[in-house]
Chains A and B, each alone.
Chain A
Amino acid sequence: MTELAKKRPEFRNINALTDLPTYRLPVAGIVSILHRISGFLMFLLMPLIIWMFDNSISSEISFAKFSAAFNVGLGFVPGWFMKLVALALIWAYLHHFIAGLRHLYMDVCHAVTKEFGKSSAIVTLSLSIGLSAVLGAKLFGLY
């Protein structure tokens, strides 16, 4: 073991408040934790997703209610906030989808080198954030 490797700090029993802010996560690690966070977010918002699915396919009237939720608002929730939540879901889905394809590719092609891990993580982040920006701009009527 080299001197450099010996001096690396060890993290055992990580404290979320004191250790995580200074923990230098590699880009593949960022993709990994975002995969988890995006999955958790979609789990929590699942009733909203199904509410949207239900209303959008059930009838003309419920479809109008579905559209109005984003244009006018839903109950006390304003439309722009609904759009923001929808954008969060769009990002979560895109990230989870692309990071999932990365997993499948790695499994099928045995692509498990450090270099591939890094480059594919950068591709994943760029695609998910880029596509979210494009769809978000459309959602908020910028084009």
Chain B
Amino acid sequence: MSVNYGSKRIVTGAGYGFRDWLAQRVTGSLMAIFTVVLLVEVIFTSGPIGYEQWAGIFAGQCMKFLTFAVIIALLYHVWVGMRDIWMDYIKPVGLRLVLHVFTLVWLVGCAGWAVQALWRL
């Protein structure tokens, strides 16, 4: 079998995972920033948090902007992560294809739902 790692690997022009590695870190960082922003918003809300206060956090255009970006980042992050899991544990090609398609349908559906909920606000 040809060497596909290290300095002697045969470069054929396909990706070797660097793009996914980087994407995982960029999208992860974005979601981490979002988590901190949301925590700060919740902590600095005075009084008990009811519907008005909670929905108010997401109602501003800035927060909508960020939340939308985070939904897209999440979509990509989970796709890369789930693809890794299927590639590690599922060897039969047919089953793996089915699971990849299921993952994509699941994620795109979920992302659409989340965006719809956000847009309605």
The residues of A with any CB-CB pair to B shorter than 8 Å are 36, 39-40, 42-43, 46-47, 50, 53-54, 56-60, 63-64, 97, 100-101, 103-104, 107
CB-based nearest A residue for B54? A56
Chain B residues 99-115 with CB under 8 Å of chain A are 103, 106-107, 110, 113-114
Q: B114 to A39, Cβ gap below 8 A?
A: no
Count of chain B residues near A, Cβ 8 A: 25
Q: Interface with A: B1-9, B10-18, B40-48, B77-85, which one?
A: B77-85
Known: A36-B85, A50-B114, A58-B120. A100 touches B78 (CB 8 A): no
3 closest pairs, A vs B, by CB? A54-B117, A63-B51, A57-B55
Q: B32 to A53, Cβ gap below 8 A?
A: no
Cβ of B58 < 8 Å from any Cβ of A? yes
Interface membership of chain B positions 39-71, coded 1 if the CB is closer than 8 angstroms to chain A and 0 otherwise: 000000000001100110010000000000000
CA of A100 to CA of B78, assembled, Å: 13
Given A57-B54, A63-B50, A97-B35: 14 more A-B contacts, CB < 8 Å: A39-B85, A40-B82, A42-B78, A43-B81, A46-B107, A50-B114, A50-B117, A53-B114, A54-B114, A63-B51, A97-B32, A100-B28, A101-B32, A104-B25
Q: A57 to B58, Cβ gap below 8 A?
A: yes
The residues of B with any CB-CB pair to A shorter than 8 Å are 25, 28-29, 32, 35, 50-51, 54-55, 58, 78, 81-82, 85, 103, 106-107, 110, 113-114, 116-118, 120-121
CA of A87 to CA of B110, assembled, Å: 21
